Every structure is written in C-alpha cells, then in structure tokens.
Chains A and B, each alone.
Chain A
Amino acid sequence: MIGTWLDIGPTTQIEPGSARTLPVAGGEEIAVFHTMRGEFYALVNKCPHKGGPLSQGIVHGDSVSCPLHNWRISLRSGEALGEDKGCTPTIPLKVDSGRIFLLREAVVA
C-alpha cells in the first residue's frame, strides 16, 4: 500500500466484538472494529441503507449488523450481505506493535 500510515492509538482501546469511532475534520466519521477473532477493520461509520452508525451494531464473525434496520455489512469489503445491496467505503488498516494505523489518504479522502 502506497501512502502514509496514521497512528490512531493502541489496540487495547477497542474491546473485542465492538467498535469505536474516529471523527475526521472535514471528512466522514470512521468506525474502527475489533472482532471476536482479534482482527481490526475500519469503515466509514455509515450504513449504505439509511446511514446508521455501524460502530454501534453487533459484531459477529467478520460482519456487523446495523443498529437501525439490521442490515448485515461485511467488515472486509463494506458490502451489504444477504439480500441487501449497497457498500460502505473501507479504510486500509494495519496493526503494528500494538497500535492501529489507517492509511492517511483514505482517511481524509
């Protein structure tokens, strides 16, 4: 991945099976997820359906169920799963030495 990585803090800030938010000045708020399996993903904090805050949904496997109307969104691709159609932008993320990094170019896009 070409670009600069933005350190957004330690992995211990997010409980497994939940998400926390990252407001971006002049950009879309980002939701950073920590799955039960211990993986991290970042998506724009907006369901493709009605814009519900995905960060507040129930995380299961590598998907999240939107708190507003229960659409299931893949944390890997941002795609709506099942019968629903739609996609939420994902932000490239890496974990290094216990800290979470997001690709700056994607964060401020």
Chain B
Amino acid sequence: MNAQSKIDTAGAERPPRERLVVIGNGMAGCRAVEEVLARDAGRYAVTIFGAEPRVNYNRIMLSPVLAGEKTFDEIVINDADWYAAHAITLVAGDPVVQIDRAAKLVTAQSGRIEPYDRLLIATGSDPFIIPVPGHDLPGVVTFRDLDDVDRMLAAAEKGGDAVVIGGGLLGLEAAHGLSLRGMKVTVIHLMPTLMERQLDEAAGWLLRQELERRGQTILTGANTKAILSADGHVAGIELEDGTRIRADIVVMAVGIKPSTALAKLAGIVCERGIVVDDNMVTSDPDILAVGECVQHRGACYGLVAPLWDMCRSLAGFLTDEANGYSGSVTSTKLKVSGIDLFSAGDFSGGDGAEDIVMRDAARGIYKRVVVKDDRVIGAVLYGDTADGNWYFDLLKKGEDIAPIREGLIFGQAFANGGALADPNSAVAALSDDAEICGCNGVSKGQVVGCINAGAHSLDAVRSTCKASASCGSCTGLVESLLAFTLGGAVESGPQTMCKCTSFTHDDVRRNIVDKQLRHMPQVMQELHWTTPDGCSSCRPALNYYLLCAWPGEYLDDQASRYVNERLHANIQKDGTYSVVPRMWGGITSPRELRAIADVVEKYDAPMVKVTGGQRLDIFGIKKEDLPAVWADLNAAGMVSGHAYGKALRTVKTCVGSEWCRFGTQDSTGLGVKIERMSWGSWMPHKFKIAVSGCPRNCAEATIKDFGVICVDSGYELHVGGNGGIRVRVTDLLCKVETEDQAMEMCAAFIQLYREDAHYLERTAPWLERKGLDWIKGQLFDDPEAVKRLARRFHFAQSFSQDDPWAARAAGDRRDLHSHMAEVRPLHVEYGQAEYAK
C-alpha cells in the first residue's frame, strides 16, 4: 500500500505527514509510538488520546507506589517534554468515545473530532468486577490506575481493615501495599493455591506462609457471596459459607479482560480481544491494535513483555519493514519486596515431561524445572530466583540441555562448571572441613573417616557419626559421599517412603513432630519432595501422619484419601459400594435388623451378608444412594461401621458370663465398652479387636490386633495377631485384673501403634519389626507411659467420634455423591453441588 497517496485532502491545510491517531496513552500506545519514531521519525503526525489526565507512566510500577517504595514521578516513562520534543499532541483526560471508520474520524468525550490515516487502538484492559451484591458500593475499588492507588492510599490513611478479593499477582501486590501502609489485610482467593496460574502447590504454599508471617490473613478456596454495607459505604464482605469479614475498603483484583467496547461499537471484529493479525492489523486495514486489548492467534496477554514484542512488529509494519509477531512466551515475577518468586512457561507436567525439583528447607528455597525432550519447558522458582532468567532463556531458545542436565537445577554457575555437573564430583570438590550435617555439626572429613572405618551404608553412617541422623536434609550429600568414597560398594539403606522422597517413613514421622510440620505442602517442602504434589502412596500416608500428630488441628485432606475412606463405604469390582453399619460388640436388635432389611429392599441391594467381624454387609449400593441409605440407618440409631477404613474395624465378642456356662467375665459388655472407646479412630492400617469370655476363645481373640481373653483372675491381653495371607498368632502382652485396666492398656497400645507404625503396616509386621521387647519397654519401663499414651488416645478420640455418615446424610459434600451433569439424548441435565471448602 502506498501511504503517500492516502493523504487526506479534505482538511483546510494539507498536512505534511500521515496522521497517526493513538487511542490510549498507556504503556502499549506510547511504546508503539516510540518504536515508530525510532524507525522513521518524520513519517507520522501523532495524536494520542488518554483517558487519564496525566502523562504516560509505567503501570506495572503502581504496586511500588502503593507500597510507598516509589513516587509517581519515579514511574513516569514519558514526561511532557517528550511529547513536545516529538511534536506529539497529547489529549489527556478526554477518552475517545466513537470511531467513524467510513469518515476516518474519532470523537472524544469532549466532542473533539480528530481525523486519521492510521488509527491505533491501545485501550488495554478493564478490571474484572465480580457481579456480587454490593460490588458498586463506595469503598470498593479496583487496582488498575493511579486513581485507584489514590483511593487506596486515602483509605489506608485512616487505617482499619482491608479485604483484597483475588490472590493473583495483582491482588497480592495490592495486599502487600495496603499492609505496608498499616492496614490489616485479608486476601480472599477462590482457588486453593495462591497465584495458581503461575505457581504450583508447593511454591504457593511457601508464598502463603511468608505472607501470613507478615501478618496478612489468607483465605483460599473462599468464594465471595456479597459485599456488605453500612451507612452507604462498604463495611465488609460475606463468603459463601456465611463467614463475614469486616472491611473499610475492598479491593477487587480478580483479573482483567481486554477492553474492546470501543472497537466493538465500531464494528471491528472482536472475540475475547480485538482480533489482530501478525502485523497487529485489525479487520479494518487502516486500524491497528496493540497491547492487552488484542487477541493474537487466540491468545490474550496480561503481562508487559509481550507488549514490547507486539510494538516492534507493529512499528515495523507502519514503517514498511514488516516483521510479523508470532506470539510470546511469558514469565512472571511478583513485585513484593523480600519475596523472590519467578515462574515461566508450562509447568503443568504432561506426557514425557519430567520434573527436576530441588528444595532447601533451611533457606526456604523451592526450584522446579520442567524438562521435555531435553528442552526446558517451564520453571517455578521460590526463594532464589537468580537463575530465573537463565532458565527462561534456555526455554525461549529451546536449547538442548542434555549435556548440562545433571547440574541444571543448581543453576547456571554450577551447570556450566563442567566437571562439577556430576554431583559426586561436586562433593569431591568440597574441602575436608566443609560442613555436611548442620544439625549434628559433622564435617566432610568426619563422614569420609567413618565410611573408611566401615560404615558402608547410609544407616551405618547415621548411627556412627550422626550425619543425616536428625533432619535428614543432607541425606543426598551423605549418599554422594558414600558413592564417591566406596565406588560401587555402597550397601543399600532402608526403603524410602516412596519415589517422591529419600526419607523413610520413620524419618518423615519424626520430622513432622520435631519440626512441627502441620500441612502437607510444608512436609513436602521441608523434606525435599521431588514431585510437586506427591503420589498415591505418599499422600494418604502423609495425611494420616499429620492427622495423628496434630489431632483436632490438622484438616483432613479428602483428596489424599483412598476412595473407601472418602466415600465411607467399600468400593466393589463393579463400582458399587457395600455398607456396614456399626453393631457394638456384635450385638444387634429388632429395630436395627428391620432398618437394615428395609434398606436392602428399598435400594434393591442384591446381597446382604454376615461378615467375619460379626456385622451385616449390604452390597451393591450406588454412590448416589449412599447418603439416603445412611440417613435411613442413622434413623434407626446406627452409625458408620468403618469397615472401609484404615481404622478401628470391629470388636468381636462371645457371649461370656452373661449366658455361657464356661464364661468367666462379661466379654460382650467389655467388648461394647472397648468399641465405644475406640470407634472412629484412624490408624496406620485396619485394626481389629476381639474379647473372648474364656480360654476356649470363641471370639478368635488370638488372631486380632488386640485380643482379650478373660480368665477367672482377670484379663489376658494379647497383641499383634492377624488372619489374612500370613496368619500370625498374637503375643501375650500382659495380664490385668480389672476391666478399667484392660481398657486403659488397649488405648495405650493403640496409641503406640498409631504413633510409631508405618502407614499400611498392620500390628503383626510392626511388632515383628520392632520386637515384643521394644513394645513392652515403651509401655512398661516408665510407670507413667501407659497413662500418657492412653491420655493422648482419648484426646485424639475427642475429635474423631463424629459419625461421618450423619454429616453426609445431612447434605455435606454432596459433590462426592452426585453426578456433575448428565448427557441425555437431546440435552444436558445439570447437577448443582459446588465443592465444599
């Protein structure tokens, strides 16, 4: 196209230059003009319309302005002199309201009309407002321009409470600023992880912990229902779950959307954004668009870096040196002082994608680089972002990282260090007095000395010089020292918990208690998990260990529960469930039997069977029917039988002295009491109890985890038995004289097992691994030990004896029991339940 021939001759004076009108005085609009001027300064007469009554400033630096770390003058990009020097007409504070494409004119709010030869739309984006009641109250602000910052500063001057809706980049920066300005800030985030688009769970958790340490309240998985008012001003918010939070100001920072209204009005093709080609030209060949308002090859960008690339392509086209834009790979850094956080590319995993993870708990560092086909495709860094740009560079260039892969995670300096890329060589290069184990102050020389003296396994090193025997974070270093000192002669150590960690079950359990680890992502971070969110082996185990360590405090993670424990029923091979109501001590009544019979008929259960544990098992129930079945059973006074759980299953009894001519004690009565005491408790594995009224042992107490055999003089207590593939008969633990003593010993033994055994380890293998003497020692060496253990068990039980069926029957977690929707031949039937918090 010959631009010279297009000079408008309708004007009074014949303009010497083509007229370029820019709508938007923001970063994109001005940068585009700068790029054009740099290529051909004399070609265009430029007019810029801006909605804000000020010169062009760096919008991404508004956060430091809010935080008081910068002034407005410091973030101005182009001052008034720049406009003057380039003969640019700036029309500030007068937004364009209409584009007349036929006449090639724009009209501003004031009525001012400006003709154009080329028009550039750089309207940016609008903040997304959640349309909840009260969203338009005074005191509800967005975080987009300097006026918003002024409004926030005015509110902060008065102090008080601020609520920020949105835990993304912008929301957290607003929260940080308001917090520094002295407000008490609560962040409300819909998703479970902060900045979930940029961070994985592990990094999100570290960030959350740091923000909470700084005094912010972070509520994730929180959905805002309404904004509350008092005297016509915002006064707080209400969440879906009914929680109310006081607020003097509410900042809505839930996202942005391309600002397309003006373009749409003019009939320019828009989808999510204004659709542009590789030269940033819209559906009208004389109108271009750039920045956050555009949609290029299906993508809209909300970050600054792509904007520079777009402006270069646009300016190239406007000066007849087109070099098409082909999209951008983006990276993110959070602008909160003291928090180093970097994220780039795709780190969602996927086929053939491998994670390289490094965690340094002591320094609060988490690094994850995602590699696919020997190329870096994504990176998340927290705590140490020095190599962020290097990873981003490798990513953008698609460089083959195979030669430096071993040392990649340690960063550029290390990876490019040649020989050092081999971790063993890196350890070899350490001096003899370099500290290996910080907890026990063990140097490299001491570790090597003890290896040379015969400690040829990790365990042997731990038990001799104590290196890696405490927190275990130097385990990798010690293993490298073993490999480097012994060559191939390293003896393999105890099995780790799973492939996600180099720690054993014992290490993990000990660390949870010693280091006061209270959340799963925290355990994974502190103990250097090599996967972002664990696997189906370690998640249930960690969930149990945390539940056991912090009763009443740790929030059970349903996503880490096996299906049976999540649905409180036993899954069968056809995907239906079986339901076992509790029958205390194996005793039932006509009312219970009627209720069970009614359920079997009402829900068409194909089978009802007596179990080995003296219960009735109803088969073939669909997951959708479970809550209704439970409601019916609850109505007859029955609660969950936990036949599905790594938990107390049943207490089996014989009829004892009440009926049996051989009975020596009230075995049924004791069985009922023990079951009332211990039901609902979560265990490392299933746990079965029986009470037999005499040594004939009709209740088979000697193949149970805990068995009582009544004798004339009292009660023999047996432990560590099971049926199953490898039958094991119990060992006699002790003999006691009263029921109360038997109950206390039962509680103490259960608690010892709960606190010490590995997840999915029954008492039989646990007892064989630890030895009966060890167990007796734990219980009897200290005369107070039994009491203490029993007390801890009862404390834990005070939180776990709620019938899980009752809550579900009352409507809790309906999402777990209903379909999300159904596809019928002609339409989709929608489900409703949102997931609970």
Contact = CB atoms under 8 A, between A and B. Distances in A.
Q: Do A and B bind each other?
A: yes
Interface of A: 6-10, 12-18, 20-27, 30, 32, 35-39, 50-53, 56-62, 65, 67-68, 70, 72, 74, 76-77, 79, 107-108
B820 A32 contact: yes
A10 B532 CA distance: 26
Interface string B24-56: 000000000000000000000000000000000
Given A9-B830, A37-B201, A58-B561, 10 more contacts: A8-B821, A16-B192, A16-B559, A17-B533, A20-B818, A36-B192, A36-B200, A61-B535, A70-B536, A72-B536
The 5 closest A-B pairs by CB, nearest first: A17-B559, A15-B835, A65-B536, A20-B820, A56-B563
B534 A67 contact: no
B78 to A, nearest CB: 36
Contacts of B126: none
B726 interface: no
A22 B563 contact: no
B575 interface: yes
B223 interface: yes
* Most chain A beta carbons < 10 A, residue from B190, B564, B831: B831
A38 B347 CA distance: 12
Contacts of A38: 191, 193, 196-197
Given A22-B821, A23-B823, A57 B223 contact: no
A9 B820 contact: yes
Contacts of A18: 558-559, 816, 835
A23 B822 contact: yes
* Most chain B beta carbons < 10 A, residue from A15, A25, A27, A30: A15
Nearest to B349: A62
B825 interface: yes
A91 B601 CA distance: 37
B820 A21 contact: yes
Contacts of A26: 825
A76 B536 contact: no
A8 B351 contact: no
Given A22-B821, A32-B820, A50-B573, A61 B532 contact: yes
Contact of B823 (A24, A35, A50): A24
B509 to A, nearest CB: 21
B591 interface: no
A58 B539 contact: yes
13 contacts: A8-B830, A9-B830, A16-B191, A18-B835, A25-B824, A27-B823, A36-B200, A37-B200, A37-B533, A60-B535, A68-B571, A76-B351, A77-B351
How big is chain B's contact interface, by range?
35 or more
Contacts of B692: none
A21 B819 contact: yes
B350 interface: yes
Contacts of B536: 57-58, 60, 65, 70, 72
A97 B98 CA distance: 28
A40 B831 CA distance: 17
B815 interface: yes
A37 B560 CA distance: 15
Contacts of B351: 74, 76-77, 79
A38 B223 CA distance: 16
Contacts, number: 141
Contacts of B283: none
Contact of B348 (A52, A62, A70, A108): A62
A25 B197 CA distance: 35
Given A7-B828, A38-B197, A108 B823 contact: yes
Contacts of A70: 536
A58 B559 contact: yes
Contacts of A108: 823
B253 interface: no
B90 interface: no
A36 B533 contact: yes
Contacts of A61: 349, 531-533, 535
Contacts of A72: 536
A67 B560 CA distance: 12
Interface in B796-837: 815-816, 818-825, 828, 830-836
Contact of A22 (B560, B566, B819): B819
B567 interface: yes
Interface in B720-752: none
Contacts of A12: 190, 223, 834-835
A79 B820 CA distance: 24
Nearest to B564: A67
B823 A14 contact: no
Contacts of B196: 37-38
A18 B835 CA distance: 10
A12 B225 CA distance: 14
A53 B575 contact: yes
A52 B562 CA distance: 14
A21 B819 CA distance: 5
B316 interface: no
B540 interface: yes
Contacts of B197: 38
Contacts of A32: 820
Contacts of A65: 535-536
Contacts of A77: 351
A59 B820 contact: no
A50 B197 CA distance: 36
A25 B823 contact: yes
A79 B825 CA distance: 29
Contacts of B563: 56-57, 67
Contacts of B558: 15, 18
Nearest to A17: B559
Contacts of B824: 25
B688 to A, nearest CB: 23
A37 B196 CA distance: 7
Nearest to A60: B535
Interface string B188-225: 00111100110011000000000000000000000100
